[in-house]
Amino acid sequence: MTDVPVTAKRPGKTGLGRTLDRFLFAEIVPQVLLYLLIVGGMFLLFTATVVMQKFLASGVSIWIIVEVLLLNLPPYIVIAFPMAMLLGAILGFTKISTDSEAVALLAAGVSFRRMLLPAAIVGAVLMVAGMIINNTLAPFAAARLADISANVLKDTSTSSKPFLLPPLRTNVNGVSKLQATVWVEGGYDATEKALRQVYITRVDPVTGMPAMEIFAATANWQGGESWILKDVNVLRGGAYGHWAYFNTTEIKETPTSMTFLQRPPEAMNFSDLRRKVQILKQIGGAAPSDIREAEVTLWNKIWLPVASFVFAFVGAALGFRPQRSASRGMAIGFGVFIIFCYYAMFKGMEVVATNGMIAPSLAVSLPVICATALGVILVARTTT
């Protein structure tokens, strides 16, 4: 009689595979949720301190304060996801190692790469959740916070920000020529639907030379693309003139588009923000720092959530040690150090990109690329 060798079956789409996944999910998910609560609670306390100082002095109701606290949470939750994923994966896989379950799984023919699947799924869920929050809840919260600041605190810092409207162009013999530029020094008042301190330069499309300089204290919307200038000073041909009212055809915007141009980047979803970047680049006279800031926010909506998926592999590799001597404290310490380095690089790259030293898309992606490289190295060393 010939002995038939018995080989351990690797878990796939079998009962053993599903049991393995349930076991690993039970070890990882509670740890991720625990650290998400801890990190989220820390952000909430920090936000509460800032909000209390800003709003309590204004005498607003407690309900407004609670609303502001909740509205401040969405962007912090997205930041907390990668932290929670890294620390949760470390603690979950460290527990598997210290309880000798790692040795048993390896002996049963389960590779470390197969064990990574549940962690990768959790990381992917957090990544998708982060992108959804970044593209829906966070912009809504930021817009609502801006409304509260403007209406409750009478904060006009955003509405008074100067900006340049898209240049007005005309067609001359089949060639697009500049016709007028409009600079709004005093910003847009959404309540009054008025522009403040408006400077208009009319240009001769044929010669390209300035033909008239107009300054108005305000420009009030009359409906459609019709605006009327008030308290107007005009310089033309070296002579000054003054009018109480002056109809203009140079402002081809509506209150809706004005509000869009004035909306801060964090209050926009990905598609709106990409459109705003295109408009700012089209304007030509927009401040380069404003364009770069918008681009940094745009790419952060993608790359920051991706870190949750990457950190699932980094945390699992740091926590997995197929021996009882695995040190939970040391693994957590490495995790905290990695988080510190990642977010220091993350904020540093934001500053570098805003200052124009590197392209925003590259600057925002670099921390994730470095974390990915670390994950690849750690996983490779763990499986060899």
Report the amino acid identity of residue 288.
Answer: P
**Beta-strand pair 226-236/239-248:** antiparallel
Q: What Cα–Cα distance (Å) separates residue 118 from each residue in 28, 103, 320?
A: 8, 18, 14
DSSP letter (8 states) at residue 2:
P
As given in the structure block, the two tokens for residue 298 are: 């745009």
Q: Please report the DSSP string for 234-250 in residue order.
A: EEETTEEEEEEEEEESS
Report the amino acid identity of residue 377.
Answer: I
Report the amino acid identity of residue 291.
Answer: I
Q: What percent of the chain has pLDDT over 90?
A: 21
pLDDT number for residue 127: 96
> What's the gap between Cα 356 and its chain centre?
18
Give the helix/strand (H/E) hosting 27: helix 15-55
Residue 383 phi, psi (nearest 5): -90, 0
Q: Encode pLDDT of 288-308 as tens digits.
A: 777 888 899 999 999 999 999
Cβ burial, residue 358 (10 Å; 0-12/13-18/19+):
middle
CA 302 – CA 274 distance, rounded (Å): 12
As given in the structure block, the two tokens for residue 205 are: 């499309």
Identify the structural domains of the chain with CATH numbers, from first to last: 15-153+296-382 (no CATH), 163-263 (2.60.450)
Closest CA to 382 of 330, 320, 337: 320
As given in the structure block, the two tokens for residue 138 are: 């966070």
pLDDT number for residue 11: 52
pLDDT number for residue 267: 85
Closest CA to 307 of 140, 89, 154, 141: 89
Given a contact cutoff of 8 angstroms between Cβ atoms, the answer to whether 90 and 335 are in contact is yes
Q: Torsion angle of alpha carbons 104, 107, 110, 116, nearest 10°?
A: 50
Cβ burial, residue 375 (10 Å; 0-12/13-18/19+):
buried
CA 198 – CA 179 distance, rounded (Å): 16
**Per-residue confidence in pLDDT tens, the chain, 384 aa:** 444 444 444 555 555 667 888 888 888 899 899 988 988 888 878 777 776 666 666 666 778 778 888 888 888 899 999 999 999 999 888 888 777 777 777 777 888 888 899 999 999 999 999 999 999 999 998 888 877 776 666 655 556 778 888 888 888 877 888 888 888 888 888 778 888 999 999 888 888 888 889 999 998 888 877 889 999 998 887 788 888 888 887 888 888 777 777 778 888 889 888 888 888 777 665 677 778 888 999 999 999 999 999 999 999 998 887 654 556 677 778 888 999 999 999 989 988 988 888 899 999 999 999 999 999 999 888 865
